Structure 1
Amino acid sequence: MKKRVSPRHPASKAPLWAGALLALAVGMQGEALAAAVTEKLVIVQNGETIGTVTGTTDGKSVTVDYYVDDNGRGPKHKETLTIGAGDIPTSWTVAGTSLMGGGVNESFKWEAGQASWTSQADKGAAQSAKTPLYVVNDDSPWALGVYARALLKAPGNTLPLLPSGSMRLVKLSTPTLGTGKDAVPLTLYRIEGVQLSPDYVLLDKAGRLFATFGGHDLAIRQGYEKEVPVLQAMGAEAARTLARERQKALAHRYSQPVRIRNVHVFDPRTGTVGGLSTVIVLRDRVTAVLPADQDPVNGTAPDDQVIVDGQGGTLVPGLHDMHSHTTLDSGLFYLAAGVTDVRDMGNDNAFLQDLMPRIEAGELAGPRITPNGFLEGRSPYSARLGIIPETVADAVKAVDWYADRGYFQIKIYNSMTPDWVRPIADEAHKRGMTVTGHVPAFDTPDRVIKDGYSEVTHINQLMLGWLLKPGEDTRTPLRLTAMARAADLDLNSAPVQATMKLMVDGHIAHDPTAVILERLMLSRAGVTPPGDVDYLDNMPIGYQRYRKRTFVPLKSAADDQAYVQAFAKVLATLKLLHDKGIRLLPGTDDVTGFTVHRELELYTLAGISTAEALRLGTLSPEEYMGHPDLGTIGRGKLADLFLIAGNPVDDIRAIKRPRLVMKGGAVYYPSEIYQSLSIKPFADAPPVTVPAPSAGPGASLGVPGMFGGGHDDDLGD
């Protein structure tokens, strides 16, 4: 072995300063090696791991691997970042695939005062003396840790964003997760201003990401999976606290009658808008609908009533979303859009059982919820909702669990064993429930109808029965991408007509969710989707950019055209179903309310009359579910309604701009709601006069505009 010689030893031929430099270089190299840290988070849904986020930090360089497999879907991509001053990235790239397999190739770079970026949604450049905080379009939970660390160093914990908007960090609490030597002191923050819902992040004392939840999937540091229930409870309480604060500020409750003057009333039974009227509401009931010239106090201002000047607009019964998956944040979005009732088509059972009474009591904002019980089969593609029975006997017991809690229907999902459908349906029928759902993999619409379905969910689930080849697996994204084949579908063919006959003879209803198919089939990178043009510019920047993407793989112009032609066939199928007298139940598979408007608009584009589309969105769902107090505006009816400026029969797009919404005895002004959610309002609130005798606790809530006036002259929706 060669003898090692110290640089300071007389035998050393190198000068002392050279040795010092060598030592420094070796030390720096060691520090760099020591600084390389790999962190891994697991993504958990309904108690099961569905993905991972792995980040490796080496000095200022970071690489991130993101993988999600949720019911056959999920993003899979790699990120590279360089962190600069103020913990703000000077470069950020993302490459891989997004939710439905569409390609992702995103990049951002800031150098010498020039920022540039390219994403699925957009591309651009901007001058900036300092590095701007770029919001990634195809991000991962890791990005939330990046944002939080940058915001912690910013004045007021707020930063302007590129491409636009701003982001704010709010400190909430300092919990500790884990026990003993594994205990980790943490700080919980809320990030808001970018997406429809806030995100929550937990950072440790070193500023490293421990967990995320909220708008993103729940992700937690590997090795701490047992803390997921604690994390879920923490997230639920943080979100509930915010929701309670918003409800307290935004729900206006009056002890006096609310007299809505100078309005027309849409009657879905006749499909007409009546003459000028006055509608009087006391708490949650309509007490009178009077022709304007018969209003005994018309022209005066009663000193014991709240007066709303409808300014010649139209009152419409509350809209219904027949395919919702309720979230804590969805309530205000629905109400602002005039959606006062939803059918929940599958959820975390404990969450929904906790949420519903809170909404009914007025503690939290939200529409009335009619719950369906979700049953899924066990497979590698299983959705993590509701109940996943291991045996057919377990499935029957699950039906009873839902029946005992008053659920309206049983909903069956993709991985259910086809032979279990009949016993599930038999038990549901015994318990007074009907059955709806997807067509399970390797099953057909015709068979599930014969086995006991009274309704088929999603128009693609129906049409795939005419498009798929034997053995093709709809538990994968094929159940969506195979819809391109509909371009060549003959609606007069024997298979189509056989299914139609089964539906007509069996009085089988259909929940199309055509709006989601439109989003899938017609969304293109960098372009505002056709269903989003009336509202997208008003939304937070993160949501705007998310919508401007391609959700399906497009290998050629022919693929593009196939999806366009196939969606035209979707609309033609809607019209065929309606013409045959099959009940359509407008649903969205979304939670914003904006898609409820578009779903009804799509029916009119399919050739269904505007008046009929409005009936399908208001009265028809209430008739279907046996709610006689809802669906029309009349004396004694529940006052679930909304005010718009125009006539919806003349232009169905008028329903996209509610000015006032009533539900459950509370009055909401959408302009206030949207401002509280970082959304630019679409219409102003109507003039409201609150009598002096109402002064007292909460009286200040009687005047719209507490979030900045509630008046905006941009009617962009």
Structure 2
Amino acid sequence: MSSKTIFKVAAVTLLVSQLLACDEQKNEQTSEQVAQVSQTDNSSNNTSQNTQQDAVTQFTKYNIYNKEDQAGSLSVEQSGNVYSSDMELGWNNRVVKMQEVITVDEQGYITSQTVKGVSAFGAPIDESFNQKGSIAQWQSTNEQGEEKVEGKKFYVAMDGTGVANSALLKAISNSETGKVDLLPSGQAGMIKLDSVTLDNGTEKKTVHLIGITGFGFSPDFAWYDDDYNFFATDGGGWFGVIPEGWGREHLEQLQEIQKKADNQYLKDLADKLIHTSEKPILVTNANYVDVITGKLVEGQSILVEDGRISKIASDIPAGDYTEVDANGKTLIPGLWDMHGHLSKSDGLLNMPAGVTNVRDMGNTHDNIVDIERMSENNEIMGSDVYRSGFMDRESPYAMKMGKTVDSLESAKAAVDWYAENGYPQIKTYSSMEPEWIKPLAEHIHSKGLKLSGHIPAFMTAEEAINAGFDEIQHINMIFLNFLGKNIDTRQRLRFTIPGEKAHELDLNSKEVNDFMALLKEKGTVIDPTVSVFRSLLLAEAGKVDPENAAIYEHLPVTVARNFKKAWMDIKPEERDAYNKSADAMVAMVKKLHDSGVTVVPGTDSIAGFTLHRELILYSQGGISNADVLKLATITSAEVVGNEENVGSIEEGKQADLVFIDGNPLEDMNDIRQVALVIKGQNLYKPDEIYEEIGVKPFTKSVDFEL
């Protein structure tokens, strides 16, 4: 939700990025839930549609691949100006089924569109757009609108199979300015980066790597032919799409080129936005939070040399320094996201949010190693990376991303591989066999690694802890310990049961207190990701997700619209229970903390912003602000075993300094007001970064001269 990187618009990356924004959402759908598409009546399009009778029909079927095998398919039929598409994509317990029909005019602008189906999280999809003359109207389960269009505007659906992107590129290519105005708002353009000719033995095909700008925080890249028809895309190592007749070897060829182009785009941004000081950095007039004592230390100067804090004093003599006047702002150590699923662009959200350290809880090996290396070398903007090796057992619900195993011996072999490749931790997923956990934990511990993850299906959290779990991911797994053992948590039940029943659990009961005592005794760490679970339970169609309401107006419109979607198909009569259960999850985090259990904050969703919300929820739940900051800094550093180098503002430690325009010890909402970030010898101005990616800054950055 990981998240990570959301709101892609190419055929599958639109969906995949939203779905992977959370490592913990649900969907269990049947074909009967998918509504059949009927084309919208539109008298203004009669002439255009009548011409389709004589048009040549073109049909293309695409294969959607995950890391190991096929995950779905996309079929596209074009007849004249009418495009029809049908997509099905599945992984873990999530299945997306969607059908789309669009009609375009001669310039590529949409005149009518219908999208119907079921989202990965269970919510129905039913969207339509229609333009008669200058009047454009759109309606979905999430929003409706009408506008008198002056000139030409291209409608952007909230959901879709991606087929509209080909029409959009044609509209952009026909534009004199190279830009197209969007409905409901915004503007799109394109970047052409590379071309390649493929040969499958019977056909040669020249395709072009094109990025669509204006839809999200960075361009969405995919491959198109000479006529801007979609051909293929790489979903950042998660999923890839290519037509039948072209094999995985062709997809891998394109992926390598696309990866280099993505890397170069991000490197150009890094060169522009990372300010590296060759001289020592002197911060003056600073008030900093000693996260170990929870106290504010006022009126200090901090000297950074060779990326480390060499001196903290009330006065440091002048010298040949890059000087930064904190002007009384509050400095805190760099924040930690202890549940990320990193993409190479996440640093554009993490660094301006003051998130300088990320524990990645599941990724492809090549991707996370690239991110780690490129971040260290300033080739991309990025946090320090701490890796977890991902593992799931082969099953219809397997999340095929890291290592998929079919026996205890193959699971142990996977552990050996991760240990040899520098992973300090293993994360297991929901399909793992309960009987494997004890011997697997012993093997993991023998290698000096830790074991964390989802509680396997048909197992309780208490059983997993006694079998050797060092850490549990997600707050729902804590509640499920009390809601029944024989639950197939590979399926949607791991979401619906806590949604329906979490609020009924007495947190002061003996069984809860006994479980808290066990967690404390075993030293078990809890990574609750409570904000993303509240989004799951609270989001309603047509309403701004309360978890993201505070940032809604700061985001690009095409991104913000996604926070007006329902994730789950929650019935009206269930709403009260789900709302109360969302609050119970915050109360459980407070119960864990008060019981002496180590809690670490993570996102599993959109980078940067979600961590701020996670910390605000902890504060609102009753944990003191000083303790919240401690959990997000030195406690997290202790959990990964690097507290000697990072996690607090102390002499000798790595310089991870976040300047807050306000005082989060008094008001945790101030955590969003990041005015400067210093990491090592690098300085980051949040307002500068946010403006580059279309985000309205939260405060003005501290200025300095190199």
TM-score, normalization by structure 2 = 0.89
2:244 is aligned, of 222, 230, 238, to 222
d(CA) in 1 for partners of 2:189 and 2:503?
46
d(CA) in 1 for partners of 2:295 and 2:140?
46
1:561-600 mapped onto 2 (5 Å cutoff)? 561-600=576-615
**SS of aligned partner of 2:329:** strand
Correspondence for 1:252: 275
1:351 and 2:367 are equivalent in the alignment:
yes
**SS of aligned partner of 1:320:** strand
Q: Deviations over 1:491-524 (max 9, x none)?
A: 2445434432321221111000001101101111
User: Aligned letter for 2:696?
Assistant: K
1:151 is aligned, of 165, 172, 176, to 172
Correspondence for 1:648: 664
Correspondence for 1:98: 119
Distance change in 2, residues 1:142/1:199 (3 Å): same
1:231 and 2:247 are equivalent in the alignment:
no
Q: Deviations over 1:154-191 (max 9, x none)?
A: 23432121111111110111112233323211111011
d(CA) in 2 for partners of 1:30 and 1:530?
47
The more displaced of 617-626 and 528-537 is 528-537
Correspondence for 1:661: 677
Structure 1 residue 482: deviation in Å?
2.1
**SS of aligned partner of 2:481:** helix
Correspondence for 1:620: 635
1:675 and 2:691 are equivalent in the alignment:
yes
**SS of aligned partner of 2:65:** strand
1:637 and 2:660 are equivalent in the alignment:
no
TM-score, normalization by structure 1 = 0.88
2:293 is aligned, of 240, 249, 270, to 270
Correspondence for 1:12: none
d(CA) in 1 for partners of 2:143 and 2:551?
18
Question: Would you say the 8 A contact 1:199–1:214 is kept in 2?
Answer: no
2:526 is aligned, of 487, 510, 526, to 510
d(CA) in 2 for partners of 1:535 and 1:31?
45
User: Aligned letter for 2:489?
Assistant: T
Structure 1 residue 125: deviation in Å?
1.4
The more displaced of 227-236 and 341-350 is 227-236
Which segments of 5 or more consecutive residues in structure 1 lack a partner in the other structure? 1-27, 691-717
**SS of aligned partner of 1:275:** strand
Distance change in 2, residues 1:550/1:657 (3 Å): same
d(CA) in 1 for partners of 2:345 and 2:472?
28
Q: Deviations over 1:228-272 (max 9, x none)?
A: 222221221121111111111111111112222222111111112
Correspondence for 1:279: 302
Distance change in 2, residues 1:679/1:497 (3 Å): same
1:161 and 2:182 are equivalent in the alignment:
yes
d(CA) in 1 for partners of 2:485 and 2:300?
57
Correspondence for 2:12: none
Larger Rg: 1
Structure 1 residue 33: deviation in Å?
5.3
Structure 1 residue 477: deviation in Å?
2.4
Q: Deviations over 1:473-495 (max 9, x none)?
A: 21122222222221322224454
**SS of aligned partner of 1:180:** coil
Structure 1 residue 668: deviation in Å?
0.9
Correspondence for 1:474: 489
1:215-614 mapped onto 2 (5 Å cutoff)? 217-226=239-248, 227-291=250-314, 294-297=315-318, 304-468=320-484, 470=486, 472-484=487-499, 485-493=501-509, 495-556=511-572, 558-614=573-629
Question: Would you say the 8 A contact 2:454–2:472 is kept in 1?
Answer: yes
Structure 1 residue 551: deviation in Å?
0.6
User: Aligned letter for 1:163?
Assistant: P
Q: Deviations over 1:329-360 (max 9, x none)?
A: 11221111100001111110122123312222
Question: Would you say the 8 A contact 2:193–2:208 is kept in 1?
Answer: yes
Question: Would you say the 8 A contact 2:337–2:357 is kept in 1?
Answer: yes
Distance change in 2, residues 1:666/1:686 (3 Å): same
d(CA) in 2 for partners of 1:562 and 1:101?
18
d(CA) in 1 for partners of 2:140 and 2:334?
38
1:14-163 mapped onto 2 (5 Å cutoff)? 32=53, 35-163=56-184
2:205 is aligned, of 175, 180, 184, to 184
Identity %: 34
User: Aligned letter for 2:305?
Assistant: L
d(CA) in 2 for partners of 1:30 and 1:248?
51
d(CA) in 1 for partners of 2:325 and 2:304?
14
Structure 1 residue 58: deviation in Å?
2.0
The more displaced of 561-570 and 533-542 is 533-542
d(CA) in 2 for partners of 1:575 and 1:683?
30
Q: Deviations over 1:68-125 (max 9, x none)?
A: 2121114322112111131011111211211201111112221111112223443221
Q: Deviations over 1:287-338 (max 9, x none)?
A: 22222xx3434xxxx5x32222222211110000011111111122111110
User: Aligned letter for 2:131?
Assistant: W
Question: Would you say the 8 A contact 2:354–2:658 is kept in 1?
Answer: yes
Between the two proteins, the alignment pairs up a number of residues equal to 654
d(CA) in 2 for partners of 1:683 and 1:122?
30
d(CA) in 2 for partners of 1:436 and 1:667?
34
Distance change in 2, residues 1:120/1:650 (3 Å): farther
d(CA) in 2 for partners of 1:584 and 1:29?
63
Question: Would you say the 8 A contact 1:89–1:131 is kept in 2?
Answer: no
d(CA) in 1 for partners of 2:235 and 2:427?
26
**SS of aligned partner of 2:101:** strand
User: Aligned letter for 1:315?
Assistant: L
Distance change in 2, residues 1:614/1:86 (3 Å): same
1:686-701 mapped onto 2 (5 Å cutoff)? 686-690=702-706
User: Aligned letter for 1:348?
Assistant: T
**SS of aligned partner of 1:255:** coil
Q: Deviations over 1:436-469 (max 9, x none)?
A: 0001112211111111101111011221222246
Question: Would you say the 8 A contact 1:53–1:141 is kept in 2?
Answer: no
Question: Would you say the 8 A contact 1:283–1:666 is kept in 2?
Answer: no
Question: Would you say the 8 A contact 1:445–1:499 is kept in 2?
Answer: no
Question: Would you say the 8 A contact 2:458–2:485 is kept in 1?
Answer: no
Distance change in 2, residues 1:219/1:145 (3 Å): farther
Question: Would you say the 8 A contact 2:600–2:636 is kept in 1?
Answer: yes
Structure 1 residue 200: deviation in Å?
1.2
1:174 is aligned, of 195, 208, 211, to 195
Question: Would you say the 8 A contact 1:80–1:93 is kept in 2?
Answer: yes
Distance change in 2, residues 1:242/1:492 (3 Å): same
Question: Would you say the 8 A contact 2:67–2:239 is kept in 1?
Answer: no
d(CA) in 1 for partners of 2:52 and 2:211?
33
Which segments of 5 or more consecutive residues in structure 2 lack a partner in the other structure? 1-48
User: Aligned letter for 2:698?
Assistant: F
Question: Would you say the 8 A contact 2:200–2:245 is kept in 1?
Answer: no
